[in-house]
Amino acid sequence: MGITRREWLKTAGAALAAGLLPNVTACGDESSGLPRYDWSGPLGPETTFELGVASGDALSDAVVLWSHVSPGFATGPVDVWLEVAVDPGFARRVIARSFPVDESTDYALKVDVDGLEAGRTYYYRFFALGIESPTGRTRTLPRGSVEELRFAVASCSNYGYGYFHAYRRIAERADLDGVIFLGDYIYEYAQGFYPFGDEIVRETAPAGKCIDLDGYRARYRRYRSDPDLREAHRQHPWFVVWDDHELVNDATEDGTDLLSHNPATDGDFFERVAAAKQAYHEYMPIRGGATDSIYRSVRFGDLADLRLLDTRAEQRSGSISDLSLDTPERTMLGPGQEAWLDTELAAGDAAWQILGQQVAVAHFTYDDVEHRPVFFDQWDGYPAARQRLYDSFERHGRGNVVVLTGDLHGACVFDLPRDPWSGYVAATGEGSLAVEFITTSVTSPYLPLVPVTTEEEQLARACPHLAWTNLVAHGYSVVTVTPEYVQNDFYGVEDIRSPSGGAERHLAGYLVAAGTTHALRAMAPAPVAARPASLAP
């Protein structure tokens, strides 16, 4: 293909160190004449691909493919061979090519593969040091007319608090077009800080808090050691955004509290965040590098535009607990992202405009008198910024805005009126501008202020815009999108504190019909949609 191994080691290695992705274009003719992997040296360890494979940020003609090499005895650059095919047996390959990987990215490799066909399932695998990786499965986005989409939605997976049964259930679903992950993929805390003492189910690594690049990298390696997480990555393309724990607890552009980051012991806050971002981009199947913004749009034909937001690291103003101190200048998204989102919503001509973001937009309170918020780290702590968001919904929404949210560690369905206690009619949704579905956590516990059943009752009493909540269950959601409705089905998994647990049950389903802004209870889970390609073997 006109380039030597020496040139690849020089150019691709430099690009990876800078946070850039090597790019390769698929063969359009599904050529069987592509070269085969050949290895004549000593075999690498059986653990060469122990962290698995992953894909993400799919487009209609491209997808990011990821893997990691644990080279064992090898030092310096390692050549990694990538194959992509349209069948799980790799009889019809469209890509066969090698890439170097080395210490500069902790031996993690991301390749941006383009020239693919829209709406098609592909299979991929890597080879290194004579060892073959597991086979991954991914799918490009559709173009044109689309009748249905289906995604798993997940957030908040604390390794120490329990087993990732939700990821296993997601991996088993052949009916998904992808996974939308809304933040807190890892937790940066020291062992025993959260969860607390005897609540620890599994030991994380490193034992101390993550404060530098080595620490964050080691934490990702520990999380990727989980077989259920690896399997969910292997079977589906992911669309990911970070929240605070991939960086630093409650991080804003101004820093955070001393408990989360003490400069005397933890070093410079911004150097820590930069290291966290670098590790994130090394270990997650996302385009771009450590200095790039992560907010972006994803187009699913004429059916849906997915706007993935960054409510954490993109110029978010410092949190406050006295809302009288809020000013029009304070921002959750940053001026640039706010303007971008307004422009995207104005131009969006798909049937649905879906926002994937981190923290609850809805007013969230137990106070049925003064309506004082519970959590000021959510949009409740940024009332002026939330009004600007609602302005965009009102200007550009056509009864087609749906917000997907994580972070809370509990499941909720909210209508989104400007003021739930004035001008909003709960029975009909009059006054609502959109609907918000908040998915529960994979494992992270909800931290109630009072016994959780009482808390759910208080929340329902104080929030007329709340349609349903469950602050106990762990699991994930499945979002089904059709021209007529968007339905969110909540699934809970049993016994996250036991490795043998994980039985699944349907908790509830809610939908919003096209042209409306009001959540309604679904009579049953959305019908399982057939997909033309099987799961990866």
Q: What pLDDT score was predicted for residue 530?
A: 75
* Distances from the Cα of 235 to the Cα of 53, 131, 135, angstroms: 9, 20, 9
Q: What pLDDT score was predicted for residue 529?
A: 75
CA neighbor of 368 nearest in space, from 297, 462, 496? 462
Tokens for 121, please give them: 């399932």
pTM tops 0.85? yes
Q: HSE on the CB side for 342, CA within 13 Å?
A: 17
Instruction: DSSP for 10-23, please give it.
Output: HHHHHHHHTT---E
* Distances from the Cα of 479 to the Cα of 120, 207, 469, 510, angstroms: 20, 36, 17, 10
- Rounded CA gap, 176 and 94, in Å? 23
- Rounded CA gap, 446 and 455, in Å? 11
* Distances from the Cα of 380 to the Cα of 302, 383, 457, angstroms: 33, 6, 20
Q: What pLDDT score was predicted for residue 6?
A: 34
CA neighbor of 17 nearest in space, from 103, 81, 112? 103
Domain ranges in the chain are 5-138, 149-521
Q: What pLDDT score was predicted for residue 54?
A: 98
- Check: CB of residue 49 under 8 Å from CB of residue 131: yes
Looking at the chain, how many residues does it have? 537
> Is 149-521 the same fold as 5-138?
no
* CA 196-202-205 angle, 5° bins: 90
- Check: CB of residue 215 under 8 Å from CB of residue 176: no
Helix, strand or coil for residue 300? strand
Is 149-521 assigned to CATH 3.60.21.70? yes
Q: Please report, in tens digits, the pLDDT of each residue of the chain (537 residues total).
A: 333 333 333 344 444 444 458 888 887 556 568 999 999 999 999 999 999 999 999 999 999 999 999 988 667 899 999 999 999 999 999 999 999 999 999 999 999 999 999 999 999 999 999 999 999 999 999 999 999 999 999 999 999 999 999 999 999 999 999 999 999 999 999 998 987 777 899 999 999 999 999 999 999 999 999 999 999 999 999 999 999 999 999 999 999 999 999 999 999 999 999 999 999 999 999 999 999 999 999 999 999 999 999 999 999 999 899 999 999 999 999 999 999 999 999 999 999 999 999 999 999 999 999 999 999 999 999 999 999 999 999 999 889 999 999 999 999 999 999 999 999 999 999 999 999 999 999 999 987 666 667 888 999 999 999 999 999 999 999 999 999 999 999 999 999 999 999 999 999 999 999 999 999 999 999 998 777 788 999
CATH fold group of domain 5-138:
Immunoglobulin-like (2.60.40)
